[in-house]
Chains A and B, each alone.
Chain A
Amino acid sequence: MVARTPLLPLLILGVSLGITWLAWNHEHQVSRVGLRAQFDFSLRETASRIEQRMAAYEQILRGVQGLLATTGMFERSVLSDYVDTIQLGANYSGIQAVGVLELVPARRKEGHIVAMRRLGFVDYEILPVGPREVYAPVIQREPYIGRNRAPLGFDPWSDPVRHLAMEKARDSGMAALSGKVKLVTDTEVGAPPGLVMYLPLFARGLPHDNVDQRRANLAGWVYIAFRMSDFMASLYGTLSPGLALAIFDDVDVSDTALLYRSAEGSTRQQRPALMTANEYLVAAGHTWTLSTSTLPEFETRFGRNAAPVIAVAGTGLSLSVSLLAWLMVTGRVRAQRLAAEMTEELLHLSQHDSLTGLPNRALFSDRLNHELVRAKRHGENFALIFLDLDNFKLINDNFGHAAGDLVLQQIAWRLQDSIRASDTVGRIGGDEFVVLMPELLAPNDALGLAEKIRQAVRQPITVDGRDLVMSCSLGVAVYPDDGPDEIALTKSADDAMYRAKEGGRDSVRAGTSGENNTLHDRMLMNPGTTACAGSTRVNPSNPLPR
């Protein structure tokens, strides 16, 4: 039982902590799944808005394509009017320019330059200069204001990044987006990243149903040039709060390929993001990497905070339940211990005198019988001394029972002080005491102890500030000379004690076997017997204060 005692609370603690962990883990998982779903949704929303915005740009470009397919690419005022009409204002704030590129084979280069200069662009050149097989110079850029009044003639076909997109647009007949470029109109150092979307223009009336036809009948391109930062600023809605977004050109996530970084993503985070994801967005035939990560605000806003509460509450509850179990288990043990102690105490009470704490008649009788058996077996002697206080009744009568009890307690302590460790002293009546003296080597030892007791009793006892002098009468019986059993011995000691009483009290008398020596011994050990044998000195009815 003792070994099991700490196990049950520990078991309960383990189980309850385990349940707490399960609940915490479940909540943590549910919370994480919810957060992941919200994160995924936000990422998808962002990607969707970018795709839709890109589709809107493509629609504008298709409008230009359709317009020029109808009117021809050299009707400059048509494009100018068109751009004015659609009002590339705040709604399309990302668009820096809508322009037209003319496909110019090397053989037509000079004629093309002459024609452009005749239109009033007197310094017109195809840039970069130098001989190439094919040129695709910018021949118109709208709206023709501000930085868009930069010289025409830039040949994007000569730039590998733009060239790739132009080829894609030509071969597919669809919109194609370039990689990260610096716009021609952005002349300053550190200009924001730009992008260009191209749509092909085919010669009027000629087929362009397949790649070969499209390559053969290409006349030029229309394009939209825009800055990435403006493009992102013009998106409908706002980015989900608590998300840091970065957009990279293609699948390269290095700084050189960085197209855009949200303000939240620009600041260094204190701790790693809880969730990060790269989504690869293919828009107008070009790949962007949307790199998204959560900020602490995201977790605060969308996370469920029940997991820590469950952990703390569950742990607290587990400890409380375990403590309760411990108290219950140990309480039972303590109750058993208390019961044992009470039983022991009851046993003690049943065997001892409640006033003096000395063994009572029952216990004394038990020990006497044990000693009888032992002495018989070993052929040894032991003594039994009966003691009766002289005139004790007068103490009670004159000073009250409380004083009498005090006297009895004092007498009991003195008896205990007088005997050997192996001796037993008991109280068998109101003022009657008995001493068992085992392993007696000589009968005189018993008489000596009785005399020692007698003298100890005679020492003054202080009660309520007054000294009382008591005396006693003692009878000594020795086994086996004064009796072979408890009854005979008791009677012998009792008779001796009464003889002492009858002889004037305050004296010691031996049993019948030692009767002849008793007087002599008593005289020898108590020469002043005559003086104190009577009750004259100790007159409890009129005790003399010292």
Chain B
Amino acid sequence: MIQVATRIFHALLLLLGSLGVAHAATPSCSRVFTVALHDHGLLYSADTDTGIDKDVVNELVRRSGCKFTVTMMPRARIWQLIESGALDFSLSGISDVDRSKFAAFAWYFSNKYYLLVRKDSEVHTLADFSGNNKLQLGVIRSFRYSESANQFVDRLQAADRLSQASGLAPLYQTLMLNRIQGMIIEPFDYPSLEEKKIREHTAIIEFSDPAVPHGLIMSKKALSLDEQAKWRALVQGMHSDGTLRHIFEKYFQPALAAAMVGY
């Protein structure tokens, strides 16, 4: 399943790449662009001002020659501003029906989702978790996931079993305090799992969905279709020449990095 998804993703990238080549002009730097990052594991750490997203932004700046104002803000705020057109770009976004109405994407990696649960909650399957009304799931407000993970989260939300947070750190804290018993994680959260305390008390359950494409988020209100295509081509260029792979290899084992960026 993962191989199939990877191939599809690769084909998608090639297709987008060919489209990008057709409009291979450099984006117009007619103004200072705005880009927002959110604090999320290896994607971006506010503590060190480093991460995959920051590296991708730097690469976009370098290749486009445009000037960017980089801001860090909660993910929910980012989506609001992308929708309103006040924000041009953000990173590592996934699409859904609602978001596709106001945001365009330039895919550059994909990953799967996992449920991180406390061992003492005696949860071995997703059904174990959703079947126990005492268990609370911690989520980052406005986050969406793979299809079955979305359904899982939506069911729990309807049952008032979600604890919302605007960042990842309080979810780990409340998980350790047993105020929530589970949270959804991505490969970017692996370093946190290396912490002995978290590793000792938690187990991981995989969602059966294929890897979900992530990409550069572009505000449809702020960027014309033509400009979107130029930025998409720029991202494809980063993919084609191996730049993205190198960025991901800074943070992941080479095999995982290759799987994520579609090689």
Contacts and interface: CB of A to CB of B under 8 A. Distances in A.
Nearest to B39: A282
B74 interface: yes
A127 interface: no
B46 A250 contact: no
B221 interface: no
Interface string B177-192: 1010000000000000
Contacts of A44: 76, 141
B42 interface: no
A264 interface: no
A172 B48 contact: yes
A280 B174 contact: yes
B46 A285 contact: yes
A47 interface: yes
B163 interface: yes
A457 B133 CA distance: 96
Contacts of A186: none
Q: Which 10 A-B pairs have CB atoms at the shortest separation, nearest pair first? A: A282-B167, A280-B170, A280-B165, A287-B170, A251-B173, A172-B49, A282-B166, A279-B164, A172-B46, A211-B48
B198 interface: no
Given A280-B170, A282-B170, A251 B177 contact: yes
B49 A282 contact: no
A51 B74 contact: yes
B153 to A, nearest CB: 14
8 contacts: A33-B158, A44-B76, A171-B47, A211-B50, A251-B173, A280-B165, A283-B166, A285-B47
A3 to B, nearest CB: 44
A240 interface: no
Contacts of B76: 44, 48
B154 to A, nearest CB: 12
B171 interface: yes
A226 to B, nearest CB: 20
Interface string A239-272: 0000000000011000000000000000000000
Contacts, number: 76
A55 B81 CA distance: 14
A250 B173 CA distance: 9
Given A280-B170, A280-B174, A287-B169, 4 more contacts: A172-B47, A214-B49, A279-B141, A282-B167
A283 B77 CA distance: 12
Contacts of B147: none
Nearest to A47: B166
A211 B77 CA distance: 27
A275 interface: yes
A279 B174 CA distance: 11
Nearest to B173: A251
A28 to B, nearest CB: 14
Interface in A9-33: 33
Interface in B46-68: 46-50
Q: For the side of the interface on A, what is the size category?
A: 20 to 34
Interface string A35-57: 01000000110011001000100
A171 B163 contact: no
Given A51-B77, A251-B174, A280 B46 contact: no
Contacts of B45: 172
A281 interface: yes
A398 interface: no
Interface of B: 39, 45-50, 72-74, 76-77, 141, 158, 160, 163-167, 169-171, 173-174, 177, 179
Contacts of A173: 49
Contacts of B49: 171-174, 210-211, 214
A23 B141 CA distance: 33
A168 interface: yes
Most buried by A among B45, B141, B174: B141
B167 A171 contact: no
A396 interface: no
A529 interface: no
B72 A174 contact: yes
Contacts of B174: 251, 280
A33 B159 CA distance: 10
A174 B73 CA distance: 11
Contact of A48 (B77, B164, B169, B170): B77
Interface in A153-173: 168, 171-173
B51 to A, nearest CB: 11
Contacts of B48: 171-172, 211
A229 interface: no
A30 B163 CA distance: 21
Contacts of B39: 282, 285
A278 B163 contact: yes
Contacts of B167: 280, 282, 287
Nearest to A43: B164
Contacts of A55: 73
Nearest to B136: A278
A527 B179 CA distance: 120
B211 to A, nearest CB: 27
Nearest to B48: A211
Interface string A296-310: 000000000000000
Given A51-B74, A251-B174, A281 B47 contact: no
A34 to B, nearest CB: 13
Contacts of A289: 170
A250 B160 CA distance: 23
A372 to B, nearest CB: 88
Contact of B165 (A210, A214, A275, A282): A282
A321 B160 CA distance: 38
Contacts of B141: 44, 279
Contacts of B163: 277-280
B164 A168 contact: no
Contacts of B169: 282, 287
Nearest to B165: A280
Contacts of A210: 49-50
Interface in A43-79: 43-44, 47-48, 51, 55
Contacts of A279: 141, 163-166
B160 A280 contact: no
